[in-house]
């Protein structure tokens, strides 16, 4: 049975699935709308589309290292119950692995990667149908290293750290890498070094600090000197190498690395820290309201 573009649009409106998925389903169903809708449900696509408006703020941060490439990914779902399940954990591991193998430039490229005859995006849509929650790849970072890569995953995936060190791997440098990873997970720095902080960020911080000092009643001439000191404190709080080492605040992280480098050349090239769900606004609903919605839905 032939079908038209209007049929594709009608199926899309009915199921919420994508245009190409609807066209493919209609082709496989010989134009039968009912059968095509069933195919989309079977493939998990219709169910995935219906959950597209849900907020996915739970999930896992996972790391994967192979052949000198380290990856840190965040994949989100809707509940901690699903995030802690074996199926979701295996899904995140599969995404991290293909990211390390193919090294896509961004999330869009990652979703378009072939995963055994299907794209990563289709794989996630199918898993959304199986698991029953919206699943999305939020972000990832990929480091290639000729030195050593260190990872640390905290509390089963609530936050993760990826470090890329230049230098030779020895028991001492490996211990250093592990200690710095723990520090990053605890201190969550935003930048590697003071020189990495964008100029506009520094200027904005100076403006805020100057207003704070002026509001304290300090003369402008003195305020300028106070701001310089507080900007230095901003760097110490937000730049990894300037931070006091959490296990020994008598040294900075930079000094910690330099102490090891006296015996074995080693330096930290780059780092990344993901905190699960950071910056995602979770939808808060009254429990009684949510129950009322479900009861009303059951009546339809």
What's the pLDDT score for residue 198?
Answer: 97
What's the pLDDT score for residue 51?
Answer: 62
Backbone dihedral angles phi then psi of residue 263, each to the nearest 5 degrees? -100, -45
Residue 295 or residue 26, greater confidence: 26
What's the pLDDT score for residue 294?
Answer: 46
What's the pLDDT score for residue 253?
Answer: 98
| Rounded distance between C-alpha atoms, residue 176 and residue 294, angstroms | 53
Residue 39 pLDDT grade (very low, low, confident, very high; cuts 50, 70, 90):
confident
Q: Where are the alpha helices (DSSP H) in 115-170?
A: 120-131
Domains of the chain: 5-50 (1.10.8.10), 52-144 (3.30.479.20)
Residue 73 DSSP label: E
Per residue in 153-210, pLDDT (tens digit) is 999 999 999 999 999 999 999 999 999 999 999 999 999 999 999 999 999 999 999 8
Per residue in 84-138, pLDDT (tens digit) is 999 999 999 999 999 999 999 999 999 999 998 999 999 998 898 888 898 999 9
∠4-8-9 over CA atoms, to 5°? 115
Give SS3 for 167.
Answer: strand
What's the pLDDT score for residue 44?
Answer: 64
Mean pLDDT of the chain: 89
| Rounded distance between C-alpha atoms, residue 293 and residue 263, angstroms | 65
Taking 3-state DSSP, the helix, strand and coil percentages for the chain, each rounded to the nearest 5, stand at 50, 20, 25
Question: CB neighbours of 241 closer than 8 A, spacing ≥ 6?
Answer: 192, 193, 194, 252, 253, 254, 257, 268
Strand partners, 66: 69
Residue 242 DSSP label: G
Q: Is the pLDDT of residue 296 over 70?
A: no
Buried b (16+ CB within 10 A) or exposed e, 33-55: beebbebbbebbbbbbbbbeeee
What's the pLDDT score for residue 262?
Answer: 97
What's the pLDDT score for residue 138?
Answer: 96
Which region among 18-32, 47-61, 144-158, 256-270 has the lowest average model confidence (pLDDT)? 47-61
Place of tokens 């750290």: 161
Q: Is the pLDDT of residue 236 over 90?
A: yes
Give SS3 for 78.
Answer: coil
Here the contacts of 205-209 (C-beta below 8 Å, separation 24 or greater) are 205/231, 205/234, 206/231, 209/234
Residue 247 DSSP label: T
Buried b (16+ CB within 10 A) or exposed e, 177-201: bebbbbbbbebebebbebeebeeee
Global pTM?
A: 0.76
The conformational region for residue 159 under phi > 0 = left, psi -120 to 50 = alpha, else beta, is beta
């Amino acid at each position: 049975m032939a079908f038209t573009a209007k049929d594709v649009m009608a199926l899309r409106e009915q199921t919420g699935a994508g245009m190409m998925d609807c066209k493919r389903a209609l082709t496989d169903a010989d134009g039968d709308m009912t059968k095509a809708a069933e195919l989309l449900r079977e493939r998990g696509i219709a169910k995935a589309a219906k959950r597209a408006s849900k907020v996915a703020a739970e999930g896992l941060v996972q790391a994967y290292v192979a052949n000198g490439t380290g990856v840190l990914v965040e994949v989100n779902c809707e509940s901690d119950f699903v995030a802690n399940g074996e199926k979701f954990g295996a899904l995140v591991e599969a995404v991290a692995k293909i990211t390390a193998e193919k090294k896509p430039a961004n999330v869009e490229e990652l979703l378009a990667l072939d995963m055994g005859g299907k794209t990563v995006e289709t794989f996630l849509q199918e898993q959304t149908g199986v698991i029953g929650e919206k699943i999305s790849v939020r972000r990832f970072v990929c480091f290639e290293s000729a030195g050593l890569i260190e990872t640390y995953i905290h509390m089963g995936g609530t936050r993760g750290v990826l470090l890329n060190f230049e230098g030779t791997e020895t028991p001492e440098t490996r211990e250093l890498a592990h200690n710095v990873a723990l520090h990053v997970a605890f201190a969550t720095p935003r930048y590697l070094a003071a020189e990495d902080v964008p100029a506009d960020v520094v200027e904005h911080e100076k403006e805020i600090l100057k207003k704070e000092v002026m509001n304290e009643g300090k003369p402008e001439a003195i305020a300028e000197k106070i701001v310089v000191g507080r900007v230095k404190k901003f760097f110490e709080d937000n730049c990894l190498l300037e931070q006091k080492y959490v296990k020994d605040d008598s040294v900075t992280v930079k000094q910690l690395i330099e102490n090891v480098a006296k015996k074995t050349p080693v330096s930290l090239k780059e780092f990344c820290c993901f905190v699960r769900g950071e910056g995602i606004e979770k939808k808060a609903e009254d429990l009684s309201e949510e129950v009322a919605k479900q009861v009303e839905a059951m009546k339809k």
